[in-house]
């Protein structure tokens, strides 16, 4: 191990720290406002931003977004004190409020599957919190000070947005020091200082990939202080320490050769992620890859980094599965120069207790403008079935023939990929007994 090539070790270190650095950069980008700004999809730390409509092609803050739910997003910093999370009554609507720690693991999730119509209020505390929990609150202890809450509420479209907006308004965060037992007693500040150098326009993934070795690993070391690695990470941290990578460590004493290795690791990292993702995708038959075990990565640092890059904010399998296709039934890459059909035999649509959709992504994992402003289609879209009860979804760039537009998922001109999203999947999907049909190229 003493002769381990430094560049390879630095690349491994880059992958190991990728979720934590991504959390830092994304948090900085999405919280650099003095007050909540729903239109810009930003809010200060420890405040919710309510996305009042589903994302469109301008949304680039997070890769692989969905168009099935409205989001309420909040970045937490629990280093000073805990916050109280309150939730409304959701009725029969599908809802889900996962909390991701800074390493991208789901440390808690509330929702229709586990809680029915509502839950809480909760005291969300960081790893340094050791005081008594006030009466009436349920303690949730996060392993990190930085956390990301991504509340999701199912919506059937624009006519349903006002009802969901009311549920968003009831999803609140209150600092413990301001908690009276009534969330209406607290008004968030509207004059939070904003860092002058915060980049709020460049997608966070591009910002992370632009960091050089010193910048990337200095940020990683700083973040590990309040967001400690899991104790199970001791073996890899023991190896990374030789490159100056440790909580709170400084890189000042590294040799030029060691600093050059860190730079090489940051240069190799993005392509390594791309290659790992492509390798995982190509290893599966039928054109679909089902990445299982998301949101709870243990010591699988490679999977954790890959999902952070291509599906940041992924949920636990029990809440959502994301079969992903980059190729058709013949193994050929998907592209807008061709037309495709996704055919479900009668009774073979995705088995869910929530709902399902098919979502279109361009080559950068974002939405693409199209004439219908349609980025996903699914069981709530009013699609027409065939006479025998089967279902065809047309995936192509051009509008299909008259009468089929309701079953059309518009594709970009260039390369693309699609996600099937299964919310609250049934056991047959969780075990793999059900598998999605392949995309058939028809021209």
Asked if 187 and 178 count as a contact pair (C-beta separation under 8 A), the reply is: no
Domains (range + CATH), the chain: 6-16+211-270 (no CATH), 31-180 (2.60.40.1610), 285-441 (2.60.120.600)
Q: Is 331 left (phi over 0), alpha (psi -120 to 50) or beta?
A: left
Provide the 8-state DSSP code for 169.
H
Round to whole Å and give the CA distance between 162 and 168.
10
Joined together, the tokens standing for residue 258 give 């060691």
Q: Which single residue is written with the structure tokens 């058939």?
A: 440
Joined together, the tokens standing for residue 271 give 């392509």
Round to whole Å and give the CA distance between 308 and 405.
34
Cα–Cα distances (Å) from 205 to 82, 208, 209, in that order, read: 28, 5, 6
For 184-206, the DSSP string reads GG----S-----TT---SS-HHH
Cα–Cα distances (Å) from 74 to 26, 138, 290, 306, 405, in that order, read: 11, 19, 28, 23, 36
pLDDT in tens, 1-37: 446 799 999 999 999 999 999 999 999 999 999 999 9
What pLDDT, on the 0 to 100 scale, is given for residue 273?
95
Task: Categorize the per-residue pLDDT at 64 as very low, low, confident or very high, splitting at 50, 70 and 90.
Answer: confident
The answer on pLDDT for 62 being more than 80 is no
Round to whole Å and give the CA distance between 61 and 69.
16
Round to whole Å and give the CA distance between 151 and 293.
20
What pLDDT, on the 0 to 100 scale, is given for residue 1?
41
The answer on pLDDT for 72 being more than 80 is yes
Q: Name every residue whose Cβ is closer than 8 Å to that of residue 334 and which is 6 or more positions away in sequence.
A: 325, 326, 327, 328, 340, 395, 411, 415, 416, 417, 418, 439
pLDDT in tens, 389-399: 999 999 999 99
Provide the 8-state DSSP code for 72.
E
Asked if 322 and 386 count as a contact pair (C-beta separation under 8 A), the reply is: no
The answer on pLDDT for 282 being more than 80 is no
Q: Which single residue is written with the structure tokens 């050769």?
A: 257
Compute the radius of gyration of the chain from its Cα atoms: 22
Q: 121-125, 278-282, 325-329 — which is least confidently predicted?
A: 278-282
Helices 213-226 and 256-282: crossing angle, nearest 10°?
Answer: 80
pTM recorded for the entire structure: 0.88
Q: Is 347 left (phi over 0), alpha (psi -120 to 50) or beta?
A: left
**Half-sphere exposure of 342 toward its Cβ, with a 13 Å CA cutoff?**
30
Provide the 8-state DSSP code for 108.
E
The pLDDT of 423-439, averaged and rounded, is 95
The answer on pLDDT for 281 being more than 80 is no
What pLDDT, on the 0 to 100 scale, is given for residue 44?
98
What pLDDT, on the 0 to 100 scale, is given for residue 423?
96
pLDDT in tens, 140-168: 999 999 999 999 999 988 999 999 999 99
Report the 10 Å Cβ neighbour count for 304: 22
Round to whole Å and give the CA distance between 182 and 186.
8
What pLDDT, on the 0 to 100 scale, is given for residue 279?
84
Round to whole Å and give the CA distance between 347 and 177.
53
What pLDDT, on the 0 to 100 scale, is given for residue 378?
95
Q: Which single residue is written with the structure tokens 């969330």?
A: 183
Is 39 exposed, middle or buried (CB count within 10 Å of its CB: 0-12, 13-18, 19+)? exposed
**Mean of the per-residue pLDDT values of the chain:** 94
Round to whole Å and give the CA distance between 192 and 95.
30
Q: State percent of the chain over pLDDT 70.
A: 98
Round to whole Å and give the CA distance between 409 and 381.
11
- CA nearest to 332, candidates 291, 286, 277: 286
What pLDDT, on the 0 to 100 scale, is given for residue 90?
97
Phi, psi (rounded to 5 degrees) for 71: -100, 150
The pLDDT of 297-317, averaged and rounded, is 94
Joined together, the tokens standing for residue 252 give 């000042």
What pLDDT, on the 0 to 100 scale, is given for residue 283?
59
Q: Is pLDDT larger for residue 233 or for residue 287?
A: 233
Task: Categorize the per-residue pLDDT at 362 as very low, low, confident or very high, splitting at 50, 70 and 90.
Answer: very high
H-assigned helices in 104-250: 112-115, 161-169, 204-210, 213-226, 234-240
């Amino acid at each position: 191990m003493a002769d381990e090539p430094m560049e390879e070790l630095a690349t491994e270190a880059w992958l190991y720290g990728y979720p934590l650095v991504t959390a830092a950069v994304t948090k900085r980008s999405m919280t650099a406002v003095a007050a909540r700004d729903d239109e810009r999809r930003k809010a200060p730390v420890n405040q919710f931003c309510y996305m009042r409509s589903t994302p469109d092609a301008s949304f680039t803050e997070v890769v692989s977004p969905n168009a099935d739910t409205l989001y309420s997003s909040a970045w937490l910093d629990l280093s000073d004190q805990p916050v109280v999370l309150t939730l409304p009554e959701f009725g029969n609507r599908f809802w889900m409020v996962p909390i991701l720690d800074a390493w991208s693991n789901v440390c808690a999730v509330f929702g229709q599957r586990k809680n029915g119509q509502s839950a809480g209020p909760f005291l969300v505390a960081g790893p340094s919190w050791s005081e008594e929990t006030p009466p009436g609150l349920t303690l949730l202890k996060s392993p990190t000070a930085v956390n990301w809450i991504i509340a999701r509420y199912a919506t059937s479209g624009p006519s349903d947005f006002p009802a969901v907006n009311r549920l968003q308004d009831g999803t609140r965060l209150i600092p413990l020091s301001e908690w009276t037992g009534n969330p209406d007693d607290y008004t968030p500040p509207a004059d939070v200082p904003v860092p002058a150098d915060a980049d709020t326009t460049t997608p966070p993934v591009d910002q992370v990939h632009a960091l050089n070795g010193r910048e990337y690993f200095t940020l990683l070391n700083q973040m590990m202080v309040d967001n400690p690695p899991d104790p199970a990470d001791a073996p890899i941290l023991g190896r990374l320490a030789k490159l100056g990578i440790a909580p709170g460590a400084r890189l000042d004493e590294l040799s030029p050769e060691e600093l050059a290795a860190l730079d090489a690791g940051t240069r190799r990292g993005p392509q390594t992620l791309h290659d790992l993702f492509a390798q995982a995708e190509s290893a599966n038959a039928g054109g679909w890859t089902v990445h299982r075990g998301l949101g709870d990565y243990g010591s699988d640092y490679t999977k954790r980094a890959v999902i952070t890059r291509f599906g940041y904010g992924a949920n636990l399998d029990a809440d959502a599965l994301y079969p992903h296709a980059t190729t058709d039934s013949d193994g050929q890459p998907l592209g807008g120069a061709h037309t495709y059909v996704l055919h479900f035999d009668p009774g073979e649509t995705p088995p869910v207790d929530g709902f399902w959709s098919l979502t279109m992504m361009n080559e950068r994992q974002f939405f693409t403008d199209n004439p219908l402003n349609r980025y996903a289609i699914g069981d709530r879209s009013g699609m027409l079935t065939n006479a025998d009860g089967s279902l065809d979804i047309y995936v192509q760039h051009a509008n299909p023939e008259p009468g089929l537009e309701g079953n059309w998922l518009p594709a970009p001109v260039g390369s693309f990929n699609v996600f099937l999203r299964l919310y609250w999947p049934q056991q047959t999907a969780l075990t793999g007994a059900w598998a999605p049909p392949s995309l058939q190229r028809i021209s």
